[in-house]
Amino acid sequence: MPLPVDPELAKLELFYERAVVSRKTAEALEFDTRRREDEARKQLYEYIREIGYCPHCELQLEECKGHGQVVHERIRDRRRPHRDK
């Protein structure tokens, strides 16, 4: 059985539909912004590597001692409890 025709109900349904459209639009814009930010970061890191520097520590590539692996291991260690032997 359909709901009765009520001006207040119609107004609330309209507001709800507008809110749904606004949320979906905001989510799409946020996704697009995140994608563009990631692409810009990739291009920046690639350019920094092209000119001979590490994009993370900003040292010349010859001087960089592979800090990325050290950081990765530190993050992994934080997730596991430390056990002293």
* pTM of the entire predicted model: 0.57
Instruction: Quote the DSSP letter at residue 80.
Output: S
- Residue 85: what pLDDT? 45
* Domain residue extents for the chain: 7-79
- Cα–chain center distance at 4: 45
Region 48-53 average pLDDT: 90
User: Please, which pLDDT band fits residue 29 given cuts at 50, 70 and 90?
Assistant: very high
- Residue 23: what pLDDT? 97
Nearest residue to 55 via CA among 31, 10, 63, 47: 47
Region 17-45 average pLDDT: 96
